[in-house]
C-alpha cells in the first residue's frame, strides 16, 4: 500500500495546453528555488511577513513530514525548475490559502504570457490537490496592479471583496485607569456573540465566500501569537479586534457595529496599548472595503495607507464518473399496489380455506400428490 507521503510525491500531469511538467517540490529543487528572482508575488500580506515565512524555508517544511502542512509545486521544463507555487491549509482544512508565486528571469523563460500560463498551470495543480483533500475554497490576496492577477483569473479565481492595509510604527503610551471603553480579552465563551457581530456587519456576498462558522473565532489553544479583545456585553459585542504578533510586527483585524463609531478611536488605542510590541515595531491594521469610516479613524491615529488588495476565492470541484442506474420497475410491487385493498368481507372466507386445507385426506392420491401438498 502506498503511503500518503509517497502519493504526495506523485507527479501531477499538467493540462495539455502547457508543455510543462508539474510535480511536488523535492530536496534537489531548493537551490533552484532560490534562483527564481524574475517575478515574485506574495499573496498572504501581511501575515507572511509577520510570521516570517520564506519561500525556501516554507518548501522545506512541506518536504519534512509533520514539520509543516505546506504544499509546494514546481514547474519543470527541459529539466530545469522554471516556476513555483505554494499553498497551505487553514485550521479547518476545508479552506486553503495560496501564499506565494515565483518564476525565473524573463530572458530565460520568455514573455509575460508564458509566465501567466505557468502560474495558471501551477494554480490548477494546487486546486486538484486541495480538492482531493476535501477542500471547498482557496483564497488569495492580490495587491493592486500585481502581475499575478491575470494568472489567478485564468485559474478561475473571482473577486469577492477588497481591503486596505494601514501601517504605523509602534509607540508605547501611558495607560489611564479611567479610559473608556473597558477592554476585555477573549476567553472562549464569546464566540457566538462575535459571530453575530460578523454576520451583522459583513456583506452577504463576503459571508457566502468565506463561509465562516462560530468556531472560526476560537483562538488556537497553543498559539501565543494570537489574541483577541472586545467591548460590550457578553451577549452583544460592540467592537472586536483580533491580533497577530510577530518578532517585530503586529497585525490587527477589526469588527465593529455602525453605531459604535464614536467608541472606535478609544478602542483601537486600548488594543494598541495591549500589544506585546517594542518601540518602533510596525503595526498593520486591515480595513475591509465596507469599513469606509475606519480609514479616516486610522489616519487620525497616525497610520498611513500602505497597499490595497483584492480578495479572491476559488471554489473547488471534483469530477466523479459513475454509471447511472436505469429505472427498472419491480413487477411484484406493481401487482401489490394495483391490487384491491383487503376488506372485512373478504376475511370471512379465510377460515373456510384454512379448514379446507386441514381436512384434506392425509393419504396420497393416484396422481402422486403428497399429503398436505399445496394445489
Query: Where among 287, 309, 331 does a domain terminate?
Result: 309
- Whether 151 is covered by a domain: the verdict is yes
Burial classification of residue 319, based on how many CB atoms lie within 10 Å of its CB (0-12 exposed, 13-18 middle, 19 or more buried): exposed
User: Are 11 and 152 part of one and the same domain?
Assistant: yes
Query: Where among 133, 156, 179 does a domain terminate?
Result: 156
Is 227:218 a contact under the CB 8 Å cutoff?
no
Is 113:151 a contact under the CB 8 Å cutoff?
no
User: Are 132 and 196 part of one and the same domain?
Assistant: no
**CATH no. for residue 296?**
3.40.630.30
pLDDT along the chain (375 residues), means of 10: 47 56 90 82 89 82 75 89 91 90 69 86 94 93 90 95 95 63 84 94 95 90 86 88 93 94 93 91 95 93 95 79 58 51 52 49 51 48
- Whether 267 is covered by a domain: the verdict is yes
181, containing H or E segment:
none
User: Are 172 and 91 part of one and the same domain?
Assistant: no
Residue linked to cell 494570537: 226
Give pLDDT, residue 2.
43
Q: Are strands 226-233 and 39-42 parallel, antiparallel or unpaired?
A: unpaired
Give pLDDT, residue 228.
94
Burial classification of residue 295, based on how many CB atoms lie within 10 Å of its CB (0-12 exposed, 13-18 middle, 19 or more buried): middle
Query: Does the model's pTM come out above 0.85?
Result: no
Residue linked to cell 518602533: 280
Name which of 322, 320, 318 is nearest 129 in CA terms.
Answer: 318
Domain count, the chain: 2
User: Are 128 and 192 part of one and the same domain?
Assistant: no
Give pLDDT, residue 370.
47
Is 152:312 a contact under the CB 8 Å cutoff?
yes
User: Are 169 and 277 part of one and the same domain?
Assistant: yes
User: Are 201 and 129 part of one and the same domain?
Assistant: no
User: Are 149 and 185 part of one and the same domain?
Assistant: no
Give pLDDT, residue 220.
83
- Whether 327 is covered by a domain: the verdict is no
DSSP code, position 215: G
> How many residues does the structure list for the chain?
375
Give pLDDT, residue 179.
59
Is 46:251 a contact under the CB 8 Å cutoff?
yes
What is the rounded CA–CA span in Å between residue 100 and residue 40? 7
Q: Residue 86 CA to chain centroid, in angstroms?
A: 14
Query: Where among 156, 173, 192 does a domain terminate?
Result: 156
User: Are 126 and 173 part of one and the same domain?
Assistant: no
The DSSP secondary structure of 45-99, one letter per residue, reads TTHHHHTT--HHHHHHHHHSTTT---EEEEEEETTEEEEEEEEEE-TTSSEEEEE
Name which of 140, 114, 115 is nearest 126 in CA terms.
Answer: 140
What is the rounded CA–CA span in Å between residue 289 and residue 161? 7
What is the rounded CA–CA span in Å between residue 171 and residue 250? 13
Helices then strands, each counted (H, E), the chain? 14, 13
- Whether 319 is covered by a domain: the verdict is no
pLDDT tens column, 129-165: 999 999 999 999 999 888 899 999 999 999 999 999 9
Structural domain span for residue 113 = 4-156
Give pLDDT, residue 7.
43
Give pLDDT, residue 365.
53
Give pLDDT, residue 269.
94
User: Are 265 and 290 part of one and the same domain?
Assistant: yes
DSSP code, position 219: P
Amino acid at each position: 500500500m502506498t503511503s500518503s507521503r509517497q502519493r504526495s510525491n506523485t507527479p501531477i500531469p499538467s493540462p495539455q495546453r502547457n508543455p510543462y511538467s508539474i510535480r511536488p517540490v523535492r530536496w534537489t529543487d531548493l537551490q533552484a528555488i532560490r534562483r527564481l528572482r524574475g517575478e515574485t508575488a506574495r499573496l498572504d500580506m501581511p501575515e507572511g511577513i509577520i510570521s516570517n515565512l520564506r519561500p525556501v524555508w516554507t518548501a522545506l517544511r512541506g518536504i519534512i513530514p509533520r514539520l509543516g502542512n505546506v504544499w509546494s509545486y514546481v514547474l519543470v521544463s527541459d529539466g530545469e525548475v522554471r516556476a513555483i507555487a505554494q499553498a497551505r491549509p487553514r485550521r479547518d482544512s476545508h479552506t486553503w490559502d495560496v501564499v506565494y508565486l515565483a518564476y525565473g528571469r524573463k530572458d530565460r523563460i520568455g514573455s509575460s504570457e508564458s509566465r501567466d500560463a505557468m502560474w495558471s498551470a501551477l494554480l490548477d495543480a494546487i486546486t486538484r490537490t486541495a480538492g482531493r483533500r476535501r477542500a471547498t475554497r482557496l483564497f488569495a490576496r492580490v495587491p493592486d496592479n500585481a502581475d499575478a492577477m491575470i494568472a489567478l483569473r485564468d485559474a478561475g479565481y473571482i473577486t469577492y471583496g477588497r481591503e486596505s492595509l494601514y501601517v504605523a510604527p509602534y509607540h508605547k503610551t501611558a495607560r489611564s485607569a479611567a479610559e473608556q471603553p473597558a477592554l476585555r480579552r477573549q476567553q472562549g465563551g464569546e464566540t457566538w456573540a462575535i459571530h453575530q457581530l460578523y454576520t451583522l456587519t459583513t456583506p452577504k456576498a463576503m459571508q457566502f465566500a468565506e463561509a465562516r462558522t462560530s468556531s472560526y473565532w476560537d483562538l488556537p489553544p497553543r498559539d501565543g501569537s494570537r489574541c483577541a479583545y472586545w467591548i460590550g456585553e457578553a451577549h452583544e459585542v460592540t467592537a472586536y479586534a483580533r491580533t497577530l504578533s510577530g518578532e517585530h510586527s503586529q497585525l490587527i483585524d477589526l469588527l465593529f457595529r455602525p453605531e459604535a463609531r464614536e467608541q472606535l478611536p478609544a478602542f483601537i488605542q486600548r488594543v494598541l496599548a495591549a500589544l506585546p510590541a517594542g518601540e518602533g515595531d510596525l503595526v498593520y491594521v486591515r480595513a475591509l472595503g465596507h469599513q469606509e469610516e475606519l480609514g479616516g479613524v486610522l489616519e487620525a491615529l497616525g497610520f498611513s495607507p500602505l497597499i490595497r488588495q483584492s480578495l479572491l476565492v476559488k471554489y473547488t470541484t471534483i469530477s466523479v464518473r459513475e454509471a447511472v442506474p436505469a429505472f427498472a420497475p419491480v413487477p411484484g410491487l406493481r401487482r401489490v399496489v394495483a391490487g384491491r385493498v383487503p376488506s372485512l368481507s373478504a376475511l370471512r372466507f379465510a377460515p373456510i380455506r384454512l379448514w379446507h386445507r386441514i381436512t384434506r385426506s392425509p393419504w396420497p392420491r393416484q396422481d402422486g400428490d403428497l399429503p398436505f401438498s399445496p394445489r
